[in-house]
Structure formats: structure tokens, C-alpha cells
A and B are shown apart, each in its own frame.
Chain A
Amino acid sequence: MAARDPLIYDATVNNPRRMTDAEIALSVSYCIYAYAGNPSVTLTVESSATGGSLTGGAITDTRKSAGATSTSNTAFVAEGSTEEPQTVTVSYNRITQTNASISPTADGGRLWPVYLTSGGNIQAMNLTDIKDTFLHPAIDLLVSAFSDKENQGGTYTVGTATTLSNCTLVSSNPIFTDTRADTDEYSSSGIPETADQPTTIGNFFLFKIDQGAEPNLTQDNGCPLFINSDGNLQTFPLADWQGYLTEWIRETASESANNHKIRYVYNQSATQRGSGIVNTILDGSGNYQTRQVSDDYRSQEFPNGSATTAATHKFEIQKH
């Protein structure tokens, strides 16, 4: 780690001094704010169920369908020999992640703020120092569990309805649909029943967390000193400092070579975002029903039982 305390001009004493933790935190907050305004890692929802590409996908929805109809021209096939309800599996991987290609301002040796070395010299920070002081702490907050839009704006989460506080729906197309067999649709008079007769239990939608309030970063309270082209110390113009932070947080999130790229995954023991994505199913062993049509004896087992959660998938965010 090479986190530095950059120097800032303190007008009250007319001298440079080290930035306080609060002043550094203000620039970190600005990184998050800037990222939220124009994220470099974006997600889209594909219309095709498996058109996406998130690691850990596809996630699956399972439901019961009726077993095949058994027929005989002498007597009903016994329950034990009639096929049990089967499991239908639907795979979902609808999310596609896109990492923007960024070309941030390169460091010519004096781009970044200055700090006081242990030897008492004033020296310009290098990119590694900037990452450790501002960019990586910002990424760490962005990929943490959702607390508020001030810290996770521009990243994504999952909800069970089409609206969610502090978030914007990415697509009305759900990323996952939980289904179960619709037992009302199966009847003995309909044997042979269509095996798969599902009903939708719930949908899960992708949301982007909104941009939070702009941090109160001003020319006087958070812009550090840098070495200008004349070799003198100068306070960063606010727009320049904000511009560098904006470029580089976007670059770091999208293309970091230091394991600080933002990535979204399923079920990788990373940081869960939003509601668990549940796959519920009926837990019965089959409802045996018969129907006789002339000398055609038919039997079939329909899905039955109570709804239970078979699996809970997790949409997650991580740095890598």
C-alpha cells in the first residue's frame, strides 16, 4: 500500500499542509459520484433467456410437469407403474456486462498531487499512489453491500417488483422468472393432459442504483496541490481535479490491472446485491389420476404438493 496524504493549500495559515482524512474522503466520494453519473461497467438485459454472459450463469428455474400418460385396453396402469411427475428446467442468463474502453489522461510525471516524503521532500504522487489513496477505496465502496446511493450509485442490484427505492429499472424484461406447475390446469377428464402447464410465481428485475447527491468538493476544501509546468506548486482548478478523478475511476472500474475492475456474477460467494432470486417448486410425489375412454384406460400423475424454495440464486458484485 502506498496511500499518501497529498498536500493542500491552507488559506488560514497561508501554507501547504497534509490533507485530512475527511478531505481525502471527499475526493473518494466524488469518484463514486462521478462513476454513478457515467458508469464504465454497464449491464443490459437480453431478450433471449440465455443471451447474456455473466459468470456463474445460467441460473435455473425448475418446476414439476405431469408424468407421461399410461394407457391400457384392459385396466388402469397402477400408480407405481405410471410415470412420476418430471422436472422441467429453464435456464436464465439474460445479463450482459460491457466494460467501456477508457483513455484517461496519462501521467507525464507531474500530473498528480504532491505529498511530503519521509525525507521531508515534496514529490508528485504516481498513479499507484493515486489508486491506493483515492481510486481503490472508491471501488471498495462501490462493490460493497448496498447501503445507499451515495456509496453504490451506478452499480446494480435486483428487486422483485418493477420499482425500487433509489434505483432505476434497467429493463421491464425480468432477469429470472420463478414458475411452478399450475395444479388447477390439470384434471382427470383431460388425460392425457399437457405435461408442462406452468404459472408464474414471481419475476426478478435488474436495477441500476441512482446517482447520489453531489459531494461538497470545492476549490478550497478538497483540491490538492500539484506541480505546474513552471515547476511551482499550484492548487488544482476544481474542474481539472474532478476531471482526472472521473476519468480514472471509470478506467479503474472498467480496465484495472490491479484487481479492481468491477464485475457482476451469479453465486460466486462475492457481495450479494439485492433480493435472493428464488426458485420455488411443488414438493409432492404426484397426484395419480385415471380416465377411461371406451376400452382405453388412461392414467397419469399430476404435479402436487406444497410450494417450497428449491434454490436461492444470488446476483453479486465483486472487484477482480
Chain B
Amino acid sequence: MAEFSGKVIEAYFTNNQKDTIAVIWRDDEAKANSEFFVSVEPDGHYFKALLEEIPLEEIEEQTNKRAEVYMQELKRLVKRWSLSEPKDWDPAQIDRMMHNKMSTFIKSFDPKEKSQSETLFRIKLDLFEDERVKNSKNADEKSKLRKAEDPLEAFMAFAVLIGKLGKRTRK
């Protein structure tokens, strides 16, 4: 006889080693369902008491069912998430958003704005990957590009490095 005797609702293994069983039982006096963890030991008092309530095969079965329900729930969540994607991703809206962001980035660059400073850093890295910049011998302009503190400085240095700056501007 154990605390859960005659009151077991469900029992399942709690790990792959199958050395512990969680027993869900109804504690009538407390008027609540409670958990009781039983070690799988052939001579253990609680293990023997549990087997009098529910055979090992059924515990196995309930463990598998529980895993199945968990997987189904997981799949349901993934499906719901994937189906919701098109609603969130309206291409036209994204275009408008990107346009606004680019415009703000160039016209009103704020170095304290984390996303803008990250964008500037990524752009500088991309520009350095350009073959024309890589092959350029103009160390001063490369340094200017590296140290550029806003997008316009970076674009200016890039234009010089790839020879695209108009004569008038150069003067």
C-alpha cells in the first residue's frame, strides 16, 4: 500500500533510462491531483505498490501516448506558425518599410540608433568585399571608409576608391 494506492490516474516514465516513473494520483483529502515519483526498483516498496495498480505494459503505453500527444502538439504549433507567415509578410508593405528605413538611414543617420549603426557596419564590410576596393592602393580613402561615421562619409570614400566620383565634386 502506498499513498497513491487505489487513486492512480496516470503513470509514465520520465526519462529514456526508464528508471523513474511519474504517478499522477487523486488525493481525495487534499481534493487535488498530485505527482508521486517512483524509482524503478524490483524490490522497492513503491514500485511494487504501483505495479499492483497498473501493469508495466500500461505504463509503457501511457509513456508512448504521452510522447505522441507532445509531438502532435509540437507539429500543430509549427503548422500554425508556418501558416501565419504569409499574413505577416506582405511584400508591398516590406518594400515601403525598407524604403523608409533607407531614406532615414541616409538623410537622418543617428549613430546612437543601434540598428542604424549595425547597418552602417554591415555596409562598410560589404564595400570592403568589393574587388575594386580590395585592389585599390588608396590607403587614405580605405582608412576613411573604415572610419566613416555616417553613411555619406562611407559612400564618398567608396566612390573615390572605385573612381566614380565626378570631377566637379573631386575639385
Given known pairs A202-B35, A309-B14, A312-B37, the reply for A276 and B20 (CB within 8 Å) is yes
Stretch at the interface among B26-34, B53-61, B86-94, B102-110: B26-34
Interface hit among A87-95, A121-129, A161-169, A217-225: A161-169
Q: Tell me if B37 and A277 are in contact (CB < 8 A).
A: yes
Least CB separation from A166: chain B residue: B29
**Are B34 and A309 interface neighbours, CB within 8 A?**
no
Question: Chain A residues with Cβ under 8 A from B121's Cβ?
Answer: 292, 294-295
State in angstroms the CA–CA spacing of A312 and B45 once bound together: 15
Interchain CB contact (< 8 A) of B37 among A163, A275, A292, A293: A275
Partner pick for A293 among B28, B30, B46, B114, CB 8 A cutoff: B114
Assess A146 versus B3: contact at CB under 8 Å? Given A272-B45, A308-B14, A308-B16: yes
For B21-55 the 0/1 string (1 means CB < 8 A from A) is 01000011110101111110000111000000000
Cα-based distance from A275 to B38 in the complex (angstroms): 7
> Does the CB pair A161–B27 fall under 8 Å?
yes
- Please classify how large the interface on chain B is, using the bins under 10, 10 to 19, 20 to 34, 35 or more: 20 to 34
Contacts of A293 in B (CB 8 A): 114, 118
Give the residues in chain A near B29, CB-CB below 8 Å.
163, 165-166
- The reply to whether A272 and B46 form a contact with Cβ atoms under 8 Å apart is yes
A274 neighbours in B (Cβ, 8 Å)? 3, 36
B46 cross-chain contacts in A, Cβ below 8 A: 145, 272, 276
- A293 → chain B closest CB, angstroms: 6
B157 to chain A, nearest CB (A): 17
Please give me the residue from chain A that is nearest to B16 by CB atom.
A308
Interface presence of B62 (CB below 8 A):
no
Identify the closest chain A residue to B29 (Cβ): A165
Contact B35 A163 (CB under 8 A): no
The residue of chain A having its C-beta at the shortest distance from the C-beta of B49 within the complex is A145
Contact yes or no, A160 B20, CB < 8 A: no
Given A165-B28, A308-B14, A308-B16, decide whether A294 and B117 contact each other with a Cβ distance below 8 A. yes
Minimal Cβ-Cβ distance residue in B for A202: B35
The interface of chain A, by Cβ under 8 A from chain B, is: 145-148, 157, 159-161, 163-166, 202, 271-272, 274-278, 280, 292-295, 308-310, 312, 314
**Contacts A276-B20, A278-B22 given; 14 further ones with Cβ under 8 A?**
A145-B2, A146-B3, A159-B34, A160-B37, A161-B30, A163-B29, A271-B45, A272-B45, A293-B114, A293-B118, A294-B117, A309-B15, A312-B20, A312-B39
